[in-house]
Structures are given as structure tokens and as C-alpha cells.
Amino acid sequence: MTDKFHPSTCKGILAICWRGIKTETCLHASDPSAAKPTHHHFFWVNTADRVALKRAMFNDWPNFQRLDIELEKTAQINKTPRHFRRRFSAHWRAALSVAIVLAVLLFSALTEIRVIGFMVTVLTFVTLASAFRLLAIGPLASTSYAFICVLAIHFASKFKFWLTSKRLHPYDIHTYVDWDTVAYLKVLYPSHYLYFYGLLLFVAIVVVALLLLDGFRRPSRWTFALFASCILAFFTLYTATLDREGELLGDGNRFMHFDHQHVSTFVISGMVSAHQLASGNVFDYGDERSGVSQASIVSSEKCQVSDSSAPPNVILILRESAASLAAVEELHTNVLSKEAFLSSNDKFYQMRVETHGAGSAYTIFNVLTGLSSEAFGGMKNMAIDLATKHVHLGLAGQFRDCGYKTVAITTGQDGYIAGKEFYQSLGFQEYLDMYDIGKQTAGIFDDHAIYDVVLKTVAENAATPTFVYVDTVASHGPYVDKLRADEDVGVEPSSNSEIDEYARRILLGEKDLYGMIKKLESQSATDQRPALVVDFGDHQPNITKDLPGLPGYVDEDIAKDDPLLLTYFRMRTIGMPLPPLPDHPRIDAAFLPDWLWKATQLPTVGMGAARWSIVERCSSRYWQCDGGNSARELHRLLRDQKLISFP
């Protein structure tokens, strides 16, 4: 680069350099044949070139000043978006960036209770902003994107808390953020999904507009230093909390059940889970072998069914959000009494699940694998994903090994939470998702339509006993619209319209289930094969946490039974008696498959016998027995038998 610029040959180049949009063309300013700078040139010039440019400005100031005046006149005539962006950047970029920073500070102060939570939220914002700057995104866009991310975490967590009484966890992103989930929202929330789609479109427009407005700008060395400092700060915070046994950060899950500190809890739980994942210890086997019982010796006997006997068809039904609310004394309501959920032996069975308001995947995992998702600790959300490759025998596999045809019928779509691979890995030979069901029901997903598919499946396999797992969604929330409004099921209006609608949907489901059982009775008589129908509630609806007298959050401590974690299971037989069963007041969901197997009167051998001995010894409690040592004993036993292989 020369120290002298001549206006006749370098007017455009000089003007562009002078206005602050520096292109590599400036490096060739002394060459009259140099290419005219265009908008697609990258706007970077190194320090040496800037020094040379300043020297040229000093030596040829009159020409330079004249060119600047001409350029300003041109800009007034040709107000292109690029000219606007340059003037906007000069006057407002810094001010708006500072305003966003102040907004983040105010937002953090209002939403975070603890000082450490405030610090983590602000540190998260700075880390995100510097990360975007490292991608060469302009400073205004970077700070805006970082604030959008913080707001997204907060409001997504608020939504999850409204639904489940739990805040957002980083693994939720892995579990729920994909196109399958976006598409499935139309099925789950037919009256509200357009609002969500509209919000996504609005955010996309804002993101693109900010990028067009601010453009790309080369990050400085200070940006790298700032980002590195943020990472170091997070590392220091986490190592400090390890030394103080979680006192500083508060652990990832300790504050998951309160409606505040959403952003900091999300970040802290991510740090805790990352450490757990990096250590390779994802499943709780216990520290040492203790409390070893007779269950440690597993017989090699296989399931053998006499040719003269007719093993029953078994239908296992997950009823979305179903519970006998009146059976839970702490809810103080007479809605849906336990008398409506009695088994064939006229007994009511209460079940303790591991989620509230949503999270059917946890209960699905419990019932089909016979394991507790709590054994994963902070990686609880990953239970379904990890089971696909690490659980080698589930309830369906037991039935398959006994000569059963095993079929999973789910109103979810393949890829949403529990997909085809999960069911097949547990021993299901056939899998139908919502699209397969829709082909048979003309797109109707009411319970009665789902049950017709179940009956058809059983009829098509009349030559062999069939095990069918099915889930229904008619009782899924929200409960603001009246489902099948033309049908009266005798629900008296109360002061709580959502509870009224919830009760209506449960009773509509009862009506449809009763209709299926009556048809199955005729079918069983024709096929001369008995049947066992087991239905259960995967969790309570999200609205029960807000009933009068309740704190509004859920205590998921494995040593306790929060009333919001109590549902039911029911066993009804056709053409066979229900055998004597233990008189246990409450069972954990992970032991439901053992109860179901006992009710079939099939041989309880091998691992099934070992599990049943634990069921009897622990009164069907998974963790609330021997301080959790019995559960860990079971885990080690399953690992030693190569039935699970979690690290």
C-alpha cells in the first residue's frame, strides 16, 4: 500500500476505506487496474494496513476530505440498506447493546432468588454473546441472540413447570427438540399448536432481521479472551461446588421443583450431568455388594407352557393422565373415587410413578423394562434413549420367550420420545404408531378407535397368545375444550371447570374401555382363550398440583411418596380367575410388570422368580426398602446376568 492516494484512480477505494467498511481491495490502492470493490468483499484489514491508510490520509488530506463530502452526498441520494446499516451502526449499535445488557441484569435480578443464580444467569448471557461474536456475528446481533436464548430457556422452563411441576433440564433439548416433536404438537394440542408455530416464525424473522441489520464483523482478541474467561469461571464454580458437596451451586436437581431460578437451574443441572456423563457412571449399581439375598441366585429354567393349557391374551393399557383423585387423601376431592377402579378381586391398587403432569416416557420405561428411571440420577431424561442398546430383556421379551406374539400400539409417532427401536429392543415383534393406527381408523384417535385396533390385532393372531401394549390419549390435557361434547357421562359441574373436563375425559375413557372388554369377552369365548386386561395411569394431570392445600410443586425424593405421584393400576380377567396377589398397599411402577406376570399364572422362572422374591421381601417398593440397597442389588444382578449393560 502506498502513502499517497490519487483520487482519480482510487476514489471508490479511498471512500470505502474512509467510511470504515474496509475491504481487501484497499491493499491494492496504488494499482489503477485494481478491481472495483463490491458488496461481497470481506470487511477485514489488518493493523499494518490501517497504519498505512492513516499515513495516506495525513499526506493527502485535502483530496481525502473532498472525497468524504462527495460520498456523504451520494449516501443522501442513494439510501441503500448498506448505507442505512452503516449509519445505524455508528449511532445506535453500542447504545442498544448496552440497553440489552441492562435488560439482562434486570431480568436476572427479578427471576433469580439466590445471588449465585443471578451470577450464573449473567455469566451464561456473556458466554453466549461472546460465542456468537466468535462466529463473526456483529455485536448487536450477538447480544440480542444471547438474550433471546436466555429468554427461551426461561419461558420453556416456565411452560414445563406449568405442565410437570419440574423445570427445564438440558437433556430435555435432546429428548424433545426435533422435527418429530414439532409435528406431533398438532396431535397433542390441536387447539393451540398454531400459536407455537407462529412464535417460531416470529423468532426466525427477528433472528434474520438482526443479522441483516448488524452483519458480520471480525471478532477481536478481546472476544476470545472474554469467552475463555467465562468458561474458566464456570469451571471454577463447579469445582468449588464439588469441594463443598453441592452447597455453592445447589446441585442440579435440588431446586428443580420450584417456580423460580429457571435459567440458573438449567445451567447448573447441565454442569452436574456433564460431570456424570464424563465420569462414565450413569446408572446406580451401588458402591459395594450388600444385603445379598436368595435373589442373587438365578435359575436357568426357561418358560414352558403346557400344550393342554391356553395362555391368556394380555392387554396392557397406558391411560394418559389417569388417576383416582379421590383415592389420594391429600388432594381433598371426591372426583373419581377408587371404587371406579377396582380389579376383578374387588381391590384397589395404588401405584407410585416417577413423574407428574407429563413425562409419560418415564412410566413407559418403568413398566416395560422393570427398572426405575431414578437410577440414572441427573440423566433420568435419557432413560428411553439408553434403554435401546442397554436393556436386553423387558416385559415383552419375557412374553416372546413364552411363545407370545408381542405388539406395541402407540398413539405417538415413531421418533417421538419412545420410537420403534426402543420397543423392538425390549422384545416387541410388531410396532404400530399413530400413522399406522390412522390408516385403520380414518384418522380418529379416540379411545374407542384405538381399542378397535387392539381387538383386530388379537383376532388376527388367534392361533397364538398375544401380548399387546397400547397407550391412549383421550384424557390428555389441556382441559379447556370439551371432548365429545355431545356425550353425557354424568359429571356434575363444579367451581373448577378443568377438573370437570378431566373427569369427563376419564369417564369417557372408562366407557370406551368397558366396551372393548365386552367385545373381548365374546372374542375370547370364540377363541377359547382367556384374557387379562391391565390398565394404569402414567401420571396425574398437571392441574392437580394447583388444587387447594397443595404447595404447587412435586417432591420427587425417592424415599417419599408425594401425593402428586400416585395413580392406580387395575387388573381384570376374562375366562379365568385372578390368582391370589400380595396385600401391598402401594407399589412402584417398576414392579408393575412383575404383578402383571403373576396375574397371568404363567411360570415364574429365571430372572422373573428372582425379581418376585424382591417384590415380596420389599412389599413392592423399589427404593423404599433397605435404604435402596435392594434396588441396587437388583441392578447388579441384572448386570451380572447380562440383561442390562448401562455403564
Q: What is the 3-state secondary structure (H, E, C) of 87-120?
A: HHHHHHHHHHHHHHHHHHHHHHHHHCCCHHHHHH
- Residue 233 buriedness (CB in 10 A; 0-12 / 13-18 / 19+): middle
Same domain, 575 and 607: yes
Same domain, 519 and 395: yes
Same domain, 119 and 220: yes
Same domain, 241 and 197: yes
pLDDT band at 43 (very low <50, low <70, confident <90, very high): very low
Please identify, among 279, 300, 331, the residue that sits at the C-terminal boundary of a domain.
279
Q: Can you give the CATH number for the domain in which 381 is found? A: 3.40.720.10
Same domain, 184 and 115: yes
Among 5-14, 210-219, 403-412, where is mean pLDDT lowest? 5-14
Q: One-letter amino acid identity for 486?
A: D
pLDDT band at 359 (very low <50, low <70, confident <90, very high): confident
Q: What is the pLDDT of residues 480-525, one digit of tens each?
A: 889 999 999 989 888 999 999 999 999 999 999 999 999 999 999 9
Compute the residue count for the chain: 647
| Nearest one of 252, 249, 399 to 315, comparing CA atoms | 399
Same domain, 259 and 405: no
Is a pLDDT exceeding 80 seen at residue 594?
yes
- For 569, which DSSP code? E
Same domain, 608 and 476: yes
Residue 443 lies in a domain: yes
Pick 96 or 237 by higher pLDDT: 96
Same domain, 128 and 37: no
Is a pLDDT exceeding 90 seen at residue 87?
no
Cβ neighbours of residue 426 under 8 Å, at least 6 residues apart?
A: 368, 369, 387, 391, 393, 394, 395, 396, 397
Across 90-99, 124-133, 153-162, 324-333, the highest mean pLDDT is recorded for 124-133
| Nearest one of 338, 354, 294, 373 to 611, comparing CA atoms | 294
Please identify, among 43, 78, 113, the residue that sits at the C-terminal boundary of a domain.
78
Pick 116 or 81 by higher pLDDT: 116
Residue 298 lies in a domain: no
Cis amide bond preceding 32, omega within 30: no
Three-class SS state of 333? coil
Among 21-25, 47-51, 223-227, 606-610, where is mean pLDDT lowest? 21-25
Maximum Cα interatomic distance, the chain, rounded to a whole number of Å: 110
- Residue 272 is predicted with a pLDDT of 76
Residue 288 lies in a domain: no
Q: Per the structure, how many domains does the chain have?
A: 3
Looking at beta carbons, which pairs linking 44-47 to residues 24 or more positions away fall under 8 Å?
44/218, 45/17
Q: Could you tell me the three cell numbers for 226?
A: 472474554
pLDDT band at 18 (very low <50, low <70, confident <90, very high): very low
The model scores a pTM over 0.85: no
Residue 175 lies in a domain: yes
Please identify, among 279, 308, 330, the residue that sits at the C-terminal boundary of a domain.
279
Give me the mean pLDDT over the 272-278 stretch.
73
Residue 86 lies in a domain: no
- Domain range spanning residue 428? 317-640
Residue 83 lies in a domain: no
Can you tell me the distance from the alpha carbon of 325 to that of 559, in angstroms, rounded to the nearest whole number?
A: 22
Is a pLDDT exceeding 80 seen at residue 234?
yes
Same domain, 142 and 235: yes
Three-class SS state of 596? helix
Cell 363444579 locates to 494
Same domain, 184 and 262: yes
In Å, how far are 138, 185, 418 from 182, measured between CA atoms?
30, 5, 15
Can you tell me the distance from the alpha carbon of 357 to that of 165, in angstroms, rounded to the nearest whole number?
A: 7
Pick 588 or 26 by higher pLDDT: 588
Name the β-bridge partners of 467: 314, 406
574: left (phi over 0), alpha (psi -120 to 50) or beta: beta
Same domain, 463 and 492: yes
- For 165, which DSSP code? S
Same domain, 43 and 95: no
pLDDT band at 62 (very low <50, low <70, confident <90, very high): low
Pick 251 or 235 by higher pLDDT: 235
- For 252, which DSSP code? S
